[in-house]
Structure 1
Amino acid sequence: MEPEEGLTAWRVYLYAVSFIALIVAILGAVNLIAVAIEVFVYPPPQPYPVSQYYPELPGSVAQVAVGLIVWGYHWMLLKKEH
């Protein structure tokens, strides 16, 4: 059986999930850059723990990690299709 040419529902799904996962990873990376700027340009006063000043840090790291993993998996499936 020969593989189908053109845009199938499966390929549309793979492209859509890949696109969304890449956007999530990019948004997480932008947040990480914002936190890095806050850390190096505007350091917090020393008596307070860092977690009080950068609550978005764990979420941003998770966005980048999960976004890249989901994107990589679906992109690999797309490459196998071709």
Structure 2
Amino acid sequence: MALQGLTAWRAYLYAVSLIALVVVIIGAVDLIAIAIEVIIYPAPQPYPAPQYYPGLPGSVAQVVVGLVVWGYHWRLIRRER
């Protein structure tokens, strides 16, 4: 089957895949920043409660949801070929 050019459906699939991939990259950068903060700049030891990183749940959610959305739409693109 020859490619018939860019249709509205195919443009939608590529656009959503691109946006999801950007969300994954942003979430991964946030996770790397948190990891650097934990490893290089650890909190002082005499804290009574464990330190909480408020950006961690959002970053993990961005990576997971972005990967799921990207994978689903990319599978649809591959199936159309």
**What are the Cα deviations for residues 19-72 of structure 1, in whole angstroms up to 9, with x where unaligned?**
000000000000000000000000112314221xx1101100000000011000
**Residue 5 of structure 1, CA deviation:** 0.9
Normalised by the length of structure 2, the TM-score is 0.90
For structure 1, list consecutive stretches of 5 or more residues without a partner in the other structure: none
Q: How many residue pairs are counted as aligned between the two chains? A: 79
For structure 2, list consecutive stretches of 5 or more residues without a partner in the other structure: none
The answer to whether the aligner puts 1:35 opposite 2:34 as a matched pair is yes
Question: Tell me, what secondary structure is at the counterpart of 1:43?
Answer: coil
Runs of 4+ in 1 over 3 A off after TM superposition: none
Identical pairs, percent: 67
- C-alpha separation in 2, matches of 1:25 and 1:5: 30
